[in-house]
Chain A
């Protein structure tokens, strides 16, 4: 079956294209319109996970404050396209600015942490993420920049040539709401992000990142300017985060510091780890699973109410439990992720002292 698909890549592409094109309508018709919003978030998280994957998966720099760049992108969008400052720039002008600002902050975070590795880097980046959130929480005085914990609302929706991506529109006799339009916008950005992430991985820069991840001293001895190349990884990853932040702000119409807490950083990191670090299909799968799963778990609350009359286990608590369980199971059965890159698989196989073939057959039986 899989072999058959591999022999006809064009067919697979066309089928996938059609599926992606009709997906929101399929979802809306079967699961309800609220799931179209979930689809939008899936795409948003794919962009975020791909960005963090550049820093963590490609260059091997553990970053626990990634959500800070997401926040920066979102706040810049809110500042430049809402009544808060009375500025209303179009989205195509604000989004690149958000990505650039986040990229700049990526370098600002990267520069002082260049000497740090592993756990130490994780702690500092974690602190950076919190600093940005706390700033956003408190910058409502003396000058009201962020409106504090209340956040900024009435953010402009994306509009193209006077056509706003919000509210209801009649298209070909159908009533279509904002999430449907955003789906296609986000899909375009997601596909572009996948394309960029792939191109970067298989390039001179991508090889330099991999070399640094493998052995920084040897990478330097190969003439790689490890400082610049690491900063570049931080900047590129952060730019993806800033872009996603801008998209998020316009989609939600409202942002507050609450949306950018540590849990978000950990969630995005989990997507990468669960799916398969450094491997784009794995990262995408991780983002899909960890976005859809919590939404699906909400039904458990409804079932409890229907069966028992009240909620015994809060689905939100269950979410943590299931996440934990999923991670533990993964560490036992697929330590390199659900769809690992061949390279990651080898790293884990080598560390365990298990022959590669043995490990490969292990994966086959479990898959």
Chain B
């Protein structure tokens, strides 16, 4: 579904990514782990159009998406969340999700001003679908709360609902359980499994190794901008290079 081929990204003299290649299969939960500063978020930013790549190619279902604009990539069906939550803090939770419907709806200026039957139906559909998604992530009664006033865990969930509103086939989550307690983590893991059941492929950056190992179908490990291992969680866990670079340091 997602193919990353030899992607490098340089910031001035600093090589943040060097020749990284990945293959994410449809229907998988794919984990991306690595120590701080390994280049995980940089890779996410390259995939989702926030950064251009210095060299290499990224394809989504064989359509090239490297160096494309973020909104173009969202249209292709690839949505993301952010490590440092980026909600529209002064809009309500529901409005946040409704913004996510933008790429799948069409009303323009004339539609907005005239608000004919077509536009009204579309607005209703935006509203109803957004409520459904709020319910799906477990925020059914929080629609009128300001996004910035939500509890931390709820903000993470809201970001996922907002990303889901764009109807992605591939959803990239940047440390979605960071700062959560064990109960919340279990709920999130459950949410990821439910997402996979609906046919959405997940790409996950995570520090919680236990969560990644228990949840992911496949795992890649980055270290200093290079991929040092890839495979099933059990085999990656036993990889000496990984233990050396990451697990060894952590345990």
Pairing of A with B:
yes
A101 interface residue, CB < 8 Å from B?
no
Contacts of A139 in B (CB 8 A): none
| Complex CA–CA separation, A195 to B107 (angstroms) | 17
A134 interface residue, CB < 8 Å from B?
no
B22 interface residue, CB < 8 Å from A?
no
Asked if residues B103 and A224 are in contact (CB atoms below 8 Å), the reply is yes
B71 interface residue, CB < 8 Å from A?
yes
Known: A204-B126, A214-B89, A346-B146. A220 touches B70 (CB 8 A): yes
Asked if residues B88 and A220 are in contact (CB atoms below 8 Å), the reply is no
In order of increasing CB-CB distance, the 6 nearest A-B pairs are A223-B103, A203-B112, A223-B74, A214-B88, A218-B86, A220-B70
Looking at chain A's contact residues, the main secondary structure is helix
In chain A, positions 159-217 with a C-beta closer than 8 Å to chain B are 195-196, 199-200, 203-208, 210-211, 214-215, 217
B10 interface residue, CB < 8 Å from A?
no
Q: Which listed residue (B48, B80, B88) contacts A215, Cβ 8 A? A: B88
B36 interface residue, CB < 8 Å from A?
no
B105 interface residue, CB < 8 Å from A?
yes
* Min distance, Cβ A208 to any Cβ of chain B, angstroms: 6
Known: A214-B90, A218-B82. A205 touches B108 (CB 8 A): yes
B124 interface residue, CB < 8 Å from A?
no
* Min distance, Cβ A20 to any Cβ of chain B, angstroms: 22
Q: Please give the residue numbers on chain A whose beta carbons come within 8 Å of chain B beta carbons, in ascending order.
A: 195-196, 199-200, 203-208, 210-211, 214-215, 217-226, 232, 236, 343, 346-347, 350
| Complex CA–CA separation, A224 to B165 (angstroms) | 13
B69 interface residue, CB < 8 Å from A?
yes
Asked if residues B146 and A222 are in contact (CB atoms below 8 Å), the reply is no
Known: A221-B74, A223-B166, A224-B99. A205 touches B109 (CB 8 A): yes
Which residue of B has the minimal Cβ distance to A349?
A: B90
B223 interface residue, CB < 8 Å from A?
no
Known: A204-B105, A208-B99. A224 touches B112 (CB 8 A): no
Contacts of A206 in B (CB 8 A): 112
Which residue of A has the minimal Cβ distance to B107?
A: A204
| Complex CA–CA separation, A208 to B98 (angstroms) | 10
| Complex CA–CA separation, A17 to B75 (angstroms) | 46
Contacts of A350 in B (CB 8 A): 89-90, 148
B211 interface residue, CB < 8 Å from A?
no
Contacts of B48 in A (CB 8 A): 221
| Complex CA–CA separation, A206 to B99 (angstroms) | 10
| Complex CA–CA separation, A214 to B96 (angstroms) | 11
Known: A218-B82, A236-B109. A204 touches B90 (CB 8 A): no
Q: Which listed residue (B74, B88, B111) contacts A203, Cβ 8 A? A: B111
| Complex CA–CA separation, A196 to B115 (angstroms) | 11
Asked if residues B99 and A200 are in contact (CB atoms below 8 Å), the reply is no
Asked if residues B86 and A211 are in contact (CB atoms below 8 Å), the reply is no
* Min distance, Cβ B164 to any Cβ of chain A, angstroms: 11
Which residue of B has the minimal Cβ distance to A207?
A: B99
Asked if residues A222 and B107 are in contact (CB atoms below 8 Å), the reply is no
Contacts of B74 in A (CB 8 A): 221-223
| Complex CA–CA separation, A208 to B74 (angstroms) | 15
Asked if residues A222 and B148 are in contact (CB atoms below 8 Å), the reply is no
Contacts of A200 in B (CB 8 A): 109, 112-113
Known: A222-B166, A226-B71. A217 touches B50 (CB 8 A): yes
